[in-house]
Amino acid sequence: MSGSSAHARRMKKTRPKRTPKRCPKCGSHEIVPIMYGYPMPEAMAAANEGKIKLGGCLVGERNPQKHCKACGTEFDFRPLQATRRPRLKK
């Protein structure tokens, strides 16, 4: 029995996509994530402490994921359903 080893895995550097930690507008680090959907008690408490921002239940097509507490800018827009990936060909 000859077992051909499936060693064809590419050594890919798995870089976790980090969201920007700074406000693109004012450069502040006072960035909190925006939570959408039904506000759980924990989320409400965190929002009261200023740890997160509640985006509410109204979810649109694209929602900002980050909120700058310094200037109020909301950024890091991304589609909620990120299953479809546009192919970028150069």
Which residues bind to Zn ion, rule: CB under 5 A? 23, 25-26, 28, 68, 70-71, 73
Closer CB to Zn ion, residue 37 or residue 72? 72
79 Cβ contact partners less than 8 Å away, ≥ 6 residues apart:
61, 62
Give the nearest distance from C-beta 70 to Zn ion in angstroms: 4
Question: Smallest distance, Å, CB 44 to Zn ion?
Answer: 24
Q: Which is nearer to Zn ion, 39 or 75 (CB)?
A: 75
Q: How far apart are CA 74 and CA 19, in angstroms?
A: 13
The 8 Å CB, 24+ separation contacts for 77-83 are none
